[in-house]
């Protein structure tokens, strides 16, 4: 079976005469190839662009109430069939079904936000800016936009991007990860069922060749991306050099500070939940626990106890709390970080490589959660984004040392502090140089009415994703100054206009 593209409301494997190039799609829980995905060549990509350009005038002219109705309809479709979409996600990604359902819920927050498009697209008006002169500003779509989405959230991140882009009146080329492509097609079909005209949302699958075509095409006016920092940086540089708007979200190394006055049990629960959910394959996962002062031993003991009691298994096992990682390459890379930690001076307290998965059928990409203690900056397990179920414990003597370390890190996506002291929490919020901050909240992903984005090497571009900032990204502002003179009022005046 080949996962096809979805262009102009129909499925096709290629717009060329030749057979399409394809790539494998694996079930991470078994290691088995379960289907192939079509890779778009230049003719297929240009066909998708032709379709998107042709659909743009009609969609841009569509009334806001109609656009809002599409979002309302889409929400009802996804809610009523969320179990079906979750199964699609879990089969190709490996995350457990409860996690997939949570992903869908967070994606729906943006669909619900976009249902308020009548409010979000409002402009401004100023009467009598000067004598007899009025000024108003409108929001207009930027045109054809591209959304390049990651493997770790095959439904949520597309819904973050495409819902806003479409609500704002753009047409979209969606290029999902080739590792788990089927959720994107499912969403595109749901949009069609919700009343979205054909050609407004087009899904093209592919690898780097397809991305390069998107980045260089003069027909695409804006690019949204989520992925690793090296790729985000490259996409930002290339796309902006071709005159596009770009928002490219990169990697993360999220720290969770635990103060001596914190509820240690609650902090340990939070660290384990935020560190190992979705096998740590989240850009907002906690990967570094910063233990301040004398509570370190107790905190590590509680984290270790909870980690060892986790159930790792297949997504279709109701008892499983964590599934496999996405690929064999990811598995090997994560295992290398754990294996090499001791030679850099760290101590592996829980070794995920030692977990036994022999009872599971197939050759799935399973690794247990790991805890590495006595980690310091300069160690690979600290400096690099592992993107797997590994919790690093850093011990510091003071709050100031914790803040200094976090602010020195090249990543600045999310962070959290656990404390009972309001003043400490306020100081942390004020001083920390990170885009998203949690106070006794380990994964501070903003609700849909706010926007998502980090700082430093976690974001390239100046616009965060979904929510209010996303409508700024997907629209251009146009300012109109108007005057209606009386008969015979006009006269030549070479001076600069003033009041």
Q: Give the residue numbers annotated as catalytic, written as ranges.
A: 283
Give the helix, strand, coil percentages of the chain, each rounded to 5: 40, 25, 35
Could you give the angle at the alpha carbon of 273 between the alpha carbons of 229 and 157, nearest 5°?
Answer: 40
Q: Which DSSP string do the residues of 313-330 spell out, in sequence order?
A: --TT-TT-SB---S-HHH
- DSSP of 325-373, one letter per residue? -S-HHHHHHHHHHHHHTGGGT-EEEE-GGG---TTSSS-------EEEE
Kindly state the greatest CA–CA separation across the chain.
92
Residues of 150-166 as b/e, b for ≥16 C-beta within 10 angstroms? bbbbbbbbbbbbbbbbb
- Which has the closest alpha carbon to 205: 145, 148, 144, 281? 148
In sequence order, what are the residues at sequence separation of 6 or more whose Cβ sits closer than 8 angstroms to the Cβ of residue 456? 409, 410, 411, 412, 433
Asked whether the beta carbons of 452 and 282 are under 8 A apart, the reply is: no
d(CA 70, CA 187): 13
Count CB neighbours of 63 within 10 A.
9
- Evaluate whether 245 touches 221 at the Cβ level (below 8 Å): yes
- Residue 2's DSSP bridge partners are 36
């Amino acid at each position: 079976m080949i996962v096809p593209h979805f262009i102009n409301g129909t499925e096709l494997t290629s717009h060329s005469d030749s057979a399409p190039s394809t790539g494998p799609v694996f079930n991470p829980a078994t290691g088995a190839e379960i289907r192939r995905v079509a890779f778009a060549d230049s003719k297929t990509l240009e066909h998708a662009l032709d379709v998107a350009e042709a659909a743009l005038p009609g969609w841009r002219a569509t009334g806001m109430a109609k656009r809002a109705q599409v979002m309302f309809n889409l929400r009802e479709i996804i809610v009523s069939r969320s179990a079906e979409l979750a199964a699609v996600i879990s089969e190709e990604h490996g995350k457990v079904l409860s996690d997939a359902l949570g992903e869908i819920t967070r994606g729906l927050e943006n669909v619900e936000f976009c249902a308020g498009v009548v409010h979000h697209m409002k402009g401004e008006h100023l009467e009598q800016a000067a004598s007899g002169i009025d000024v108003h500003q409108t929001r207009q779509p930027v045109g054809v936009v591209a959304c390049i989405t990651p493997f770790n959230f095959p439904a949520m991140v597309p819904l973050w991007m495409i819902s806003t882009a479409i609500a704002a009146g753009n047409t979209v080329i969606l290029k999902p990860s080739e590792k788990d492509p089927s959720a994107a097609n499912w969403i595109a079909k749901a949009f069609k069922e919700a009343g979205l005209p054909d050609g407004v949302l087009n899904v093209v699958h592919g690898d780097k060749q397809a991305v390069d075509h998107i980045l260089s095409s003069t027909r695409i006016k804006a690019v949204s991306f989520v992925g690793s920092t090296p790729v985000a940086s490259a996409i930002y540089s290339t796309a902006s050099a071709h005159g596009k708007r770009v928002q490219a979200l990169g990697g993360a190394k999220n720290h969770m500070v635990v103060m001596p006055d914190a509820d240690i049990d609650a902090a340990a629960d939070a660290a384990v939940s935020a560190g190992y959910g979705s096998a740590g394959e989240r850009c907002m996962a906690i990967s570094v626990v910063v233990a301040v002062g004398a509570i370190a031993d107790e905190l590590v003991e509680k984290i270790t106890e909870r980690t060892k009691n986790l159930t790792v298994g297949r997504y279709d096992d109701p008892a499983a709390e964590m599934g496999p990682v996405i690929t064999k390459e990811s598995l090997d890379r994560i295992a290398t970080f754990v294996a090499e930690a001791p030679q850099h001076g760290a101590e592996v307290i829980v070794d995920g490589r030692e977990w036994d998965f022999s009872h599971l059928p197939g050759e799935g990409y399973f690794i247990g959660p790991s805890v590495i203690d006595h980690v310091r900056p300069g160690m690979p397990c600290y400096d690099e984004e592992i993107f797997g179920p590994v919790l690093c414990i850093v011990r510091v003597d003071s709050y100031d040392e914790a803040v200094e370390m976090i602010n020195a890190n090249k990543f600045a996506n999310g962070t959290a502090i656990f404390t009972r002291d309001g003043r400490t929490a306020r100081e942390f919020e004020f001083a920390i140089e990170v885009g998203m901050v949690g106070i006794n909240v380990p994964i501070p992903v903003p609700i849909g009415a706010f926007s998502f984005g980090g700082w430093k090497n976690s974001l390239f571009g100046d616009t965060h994703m979904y929510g209010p900032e996303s409508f700024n990204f997907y629209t251009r502002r146009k300012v109109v100054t108007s005057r209606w003179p009386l008969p015979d009022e006009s006269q030549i005046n070479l001076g600069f206009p003033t009041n």
